[in-house]
Structure 1
Amino acid sequence: MLAIAFPTIDPVVFEIGPVVVRWYAVAYVLGLLIGWRYVRLLARLRFPEFPPRAADDLLIWCTLGVVVGGRLGYVLFYQPSYFVERPAEIFQIWQGGMSFHGGLVGTIIALIAFARVRKLRILTVADLLSCTMPIGLFLGRVANFINGELYGRASDVSWAMVFPTDPESVPRHPSQLYQAAMEGVILYAILTAIVFLTRAPSRPGLMTGIFLTGYGIARIIGELFREPDSFMGFLAGGITMGQVLSLPMLAFGLYLLIRALQPGSQRAPS
């Protein structure tokens, strides 16, 4: 069976003594920094009630939320028994193991705390952050691809790849790139078009609802091509953990959409 050669990219960007910097770490840092600059831009152009300088504090809150939530989400959702036996490894983030859904929960907690401290509307902060999320998702999925992790299911499509980290060495869907396109590029394009071309920012919760709904759909579709984690496999009926965790996001996103589009929900222009 023919397969496209996997590109030879060292997962380590550079090393300085004992410090090893990997592409995944670079993706996290770039996602946070680009998101921070984008929040400042959106605050200036589309969300006038959000002080642009508040983005500096928001970056710190979100960094803590993403890192702590992402790690704890991975521990609780995917390998709880493993970490019960090895609790010290919970803090060894550099060894890998982060959950988007956990990171999202951590970010939500962080933004609620931030909004209350700064006396800002929670949904305004959530709408701002939702517009930036696809940036980090895209970079994270590209880093997954470079690392040869979270690859797809075995396939005979002409663009299938043999990943060097795959013990079976069979051609597989490059599902990381599918997810980068759906969760990153397409979702970013949709959110950007809506936030700049419509009055969506005047309807609190609308951008958040669009993001949660869009991500939920994209993740559920992407999981159809992605190989489940070896230590977990499929759940009942061939469903994956990623799909299960995306269903509440999808449901809550739809709720926010319906709520934001109700007559009278539109905020008066400043």
Structure 2
Amino acid sequence: MPWVLWIPAGLALALVVLPVVGLLARTDYARLPELLTSSASLNALQLSLVTAVLSTVFCVLLGVPLAVVLARSRSRGVRVLRAVVLLPLVLPPVVGGLALLFLLGRNGFLGYLLDVTAGIRIPFTTAAVVIAQTFVAMPFLVVSLEGALRGAGDRYELVASTLGARPWTVFRRVTVPLLLPALGSGAVLSFARALGEFGATITFAGSLEGVTRTLPLEVYNQAEADVDSAVALALLLIVVAVLVIAVARPRAVEGRP
């Protein structure tokens, strides 16, 4: 490996690590247990974990079929569909939250229909948090799975089809096993992204304690009232995210057999 690569690599590492070091230096360790065990902090942490898990489940249920369609479809419109699916990766989360609000809000065409026909109002509820998190996190899963399918090719599926296997059998017995390593890493990325979601959540779901105020929103809320509490919660969010990535990440992602 050329030694010159260590210079930009070191700068890149410093860009990621030094802000965390600054956060650690600013933390009031004497008050840390008190700040982390407050009712607001515990409620925000519990809500974040629950909604992130639910949104990850929806990402898997919806994202796996979508990734298969994008990777295996021969339709000319797939390129446009792919661009639309990846929009949440490039759009500011606040824009995504506004889009969800104008779709599912009381004045949105789908939200108005749900309100009139079933009396269901989604914005500013816990369900809105899950929807916002799924909206911003699902592209991470789709990108991982589509890349894995394209890299693996379709030769195994074609062989299974020529041997008489039906499409659903091919999907269940051939495609899904090919997806498993990428599915694990994609699900972890989706969970981590959902856990840290802020912009779409606060725009579409608001910041109601115990209902929609997740841990990132609680950090923002405390930053205006108690900086020490905001720093402690930010540190907690970092620790949880690191644990998720380090513990839940599949062995295959780390390059181990």
Structure 2 length normalisation: TM-score?
A: 0.29
Greater helix fraction, Structure 1 or Structure 2: 2
- With a CA cutoff of 8 Å and minimum separation of 6, indicate the structure with the bigger relative contact order: 2
Decide which structure has the larger Cα Rg and report it.
Answer: 2
Structure 1 length normalisation: TM-score?
A: 0.28
